[in-house]
């Protein structure tokens, strides 16, 4: 075989290698539809619904509010959660919220936190889903296929669990939508980021149906360009 034939053969083998890799990956994703790495937004092609809209990606913003640093403000109307950091400073996260009839409002506190939390569906939810032909487990241990995702912040009022949580999700395409039973959903990487900053006792103001949050003033004045570029 001359040099020209050797070169052509090598190029052909390289092309086959490039073509075969994506095919092998596609098969792997299809075979492992729920085996998604922790803390990532990547979903198998077979179950991925859509990409999260750009506006719901985590951003540092200029937020005017009278609330003290460390407060969480949940704007269910616009699908944003703010972690107040100081004067005109906040981190904004995109969220998924309660579907029609499951929205709520109020002032609560973070009463408990958990990593890779166990999911215990309320009895009412189990009955409701059973009527639709879907049997929910009484308890589901934490993991990549758990609806609560990577982290959960349990919301309490008057020292009692409200049954509502701020938690991650194994369905990141639901961010920006009204699809939950009242809990606040975040992308796993975002809830991990918030979890590390919000302590037990953190004040959480949920702005939504019924206006039970009372008077709360906040004005999102957009992305903080300087902090985005230089950090801090």
Q: What span, in angstroms and rounded, lies between the C-alpha atoms of 27 and 183? A: 34
Q: Is the pLDDT of residue 135 over 90?
A: no
Q: Are 187 and 109 in contact (CB under 8 A)?
A: no
Task: Name 205's Cβ contacts closer than 8 Å, sequence gap at least 6.
Answer: 67, 71, 72, 73, 74, 107, 213, 216
The token pair at 62 is 């200029």
Least confident among 6-10, 134-138, 192-196, 226-230: 6-10
Q: Which residue is catalytic, options 167, 172, 193, 218?
A: 167
Tens digit of each residue's pLDDT (9 = 90 or more) over 15-32: 333 333 332 322 223 333
Q: Which residue is catalytic, options 81, 97, 183, 194?
A: 183
What is the rounded average pLDDT of the residues 47-72? 90
Q: Please tell me which residue, 67 or 131, carries the higher pLDDT value.
A: 67
In percent, how much of the chain has pLDDT > 90?
Answer: 63
Task: Name 13's Cβ contacts closer than 8 Å, sequence gap at least 6.
Answer: none
Q: What span, in angstroms and rounded, lies between the C-alpha atoms of 106 and 67? A: 15
pLDDT in the model for residue 46: 38
Torsion of CA 137, 34, 147, 37, to 10 degrees: 140
Tens digit of each residue's pLDDT (9 = 90 or more) over 140-190: 898 888 999 999 999 999 999 999 999 999 999 999 999 998 999 999 999
pLDDT in the model for residue 211: 94
The token pair at 197 is 């900053």
Report field, pTM of the whole predicted structure over 0.85: no
Tens digit of each residue's pLDDT (9 = 90 or more) over 100-133: 889 999 999 999 999 999 988 888 888 988 898 8
pLDDT in the model for residue 87: 93
Q: Are 181 and 100 in contact (CB under 8 A)?
A: no
Residue 193 is among the residues annotated as catalytic for this protein: no
Chain Cα centroid distance, residue 81: 11
pLDDT in the model for residue 43: 39
Q: Is the pLDDT of residue 6 over 60?
A: no
pLDDT in the model for residue 76: 97
| Spatial CA neighbour of 203 closest among 213, 212, 193 | 213
Residue 183 is among the residues annotated as catalytic for this protein: yes
Q: Are 158 and 139 in contact (CB under 8 A)?
A: no
């Amino acid at each position: 075989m001359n040099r020209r034939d050797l070169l052509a053969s090598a190029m052909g083998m390289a092309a086959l290698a490039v073509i075969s890799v994506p095919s092998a990956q596609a098969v792997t994703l299809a075979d492992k539809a729920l085996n998604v790495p922790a803390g990532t937004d990547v979903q198998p092609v077979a179950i991925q619904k859509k990409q999260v809209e750009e506006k719901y990606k985590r951003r540092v913003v200029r937020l005017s509010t009278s609330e003290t640093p460390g407060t969480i403000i949940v704007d269910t109307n616009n699908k944003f959660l703010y972690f107040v950091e100081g004067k005109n400073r906040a981190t904004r996260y995109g969220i998924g919220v309660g579907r029609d009839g499951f929205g709520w409002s109020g002032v609560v506190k973070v009463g408990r936190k958990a990593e890779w939390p166990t999911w215990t569906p309320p009895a009412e939810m189990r009955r409701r889903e059973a009527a639709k032909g879907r049997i929910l487990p009484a308890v589901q241990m934490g993991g990549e296929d758990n609806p609560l995702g990577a982290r959960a912040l349990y919301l309490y009022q008057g020292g009692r669990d409200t049954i509502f949580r701020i938690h991650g999700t194994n369905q990141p395409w639901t961010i920006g939508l009204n699809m939950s039973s009242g809990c606040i959903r975040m992308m796993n990487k975002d809830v991990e980021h918030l979890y590390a900053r919000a302590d037990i006792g953190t004040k959480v103001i949920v702005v939504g149906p019924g206006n039970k949050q009372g008077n709360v003033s906040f004005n999102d004045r957009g992305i903080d360009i300087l902090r985005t570029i230089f950090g801090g």
